[in-house]
Structure 1
Amino acid sequence: MKAEKNKLPSLSTCLSPSLLHLYDVSSSIVVIIDILRATSTIATALYNGAKSIIPVDSVAECIKLGKQMDVITAGERDGKIADGLKYGNTPLQYQPEFIKGKTLVLTTTNGTRLLHMALAEGAQGIITGSFCNLSAVCDYLAVQKKNVILACAAWKDRVNIEDTLFAGAVISRIKNNFHQNCDASQIAETLYHQASNDLFAFMRDKNASHYLRLMGYGLAEDIKFCLTTDNANILVVYESGRLLLR
Structure 2
Amino acid sequence: MNKPTLHTVLSPRLLDLYNLENAIVVIIDVFRATSTIATALYNGAQFVYPVAGVQDCIEKGKALNAITAGERDGKVIEGLQYGNSPAEYPASFIKGKTLVLTTTNGTKLLHMALEQKAATVITGSFPNLSAVCNYLKAQNKNVILGCSGWKDLFNIEDTLFAGAVISRIKSQFTVHCDSSLMAENMYKLHQADRLQYIRQTTHWHRLQAYGLEKDLEYCVTEDGANIVPVYRPENEALHPETW
Same topology, TM > 0.5? yes
Q: CA deviation at 1:69?
A: 2.0
Matched with 2:82 is 87
Q: Deviations over 1:140-162 (max 9, x none)?
A: 11121110000000000000000
Asked if 1:36 corresponds to 2:31, the answer is yes
How does the TM-score come out when normalised to structure 2?
0.97
Matched with 2:7 is 12
Query: Which of 212, 215, 238 matches 1:219?
Result: 212
Q: Over aligned residue pairs, what C-alpha RMSD do you find?
A: 0.8
Find the aligned partners of 1:86 and 1:27 in 2 and give their Cα distance: 37
Matched with 2:134 is 139
Paired residue secondary structure (1:57): coil
Query: Which of 189, 193, 198 matches 1:203?
Result: 198
Letter in 1 for 2:79: G
Give me the identity figure in percent: 58
Asked if 1:62 corresponds to 2:57, the answer is yes
Find the aligned partners of 1:20 and 1:203 in 2 and give their Cα distance: 25
Asked if 1:125 corresponds to 2:120, the answer is yes
Asked if 1:167 corresponds to 2:171, the answer is no
Q: CA deviation at 1:86?
A: 2.1
Find the aligned partners of 1:43 and 1:203 in 2 and give their Cα distance: 20
Indicate if the aligned counterparts of 1:10 and 1:147 stay in contact, CA closer than 8 A.
yes
Structure 2: runs of 5+ lacking an equivalent? none
Asked if 1:96 corresponds to 2:91, the answer is yes
Find the aligned partners of 2:153 and 2:135 in 1 and give their Cα distance: 28
Matched with 1:232 is 225
Find the aligned partners of 2:23 and 2:127 in 1 and give their Cα distance: 23
Structure 1: runs of 5+ lacking an equivalent? none
Paired residue secondary structure (1:12): strand
Find the aligned partners of 2:154 and 2:21 in 1 and give their Cα distance: 23
Q: CA deviation at 1:198?
A: 2.7
Indicate if the aligned counterparts of 1:200 and 1:223 stay in contact, CA closer than 8 A.
no
Find the aligned partners of 1:66 and 1:22 in 2 and give their Cα distance: 34
Letter in 1 for 2:206: R
Find the aligned partners of 2:61 and 2:119 in 1 and give their Cα distance: 29
Asked if 1:193 corresponds to 2:188, the answer is yes
Find the aligned partners of 1:85 and 1:199 in 2 and give their Cα distance: 33
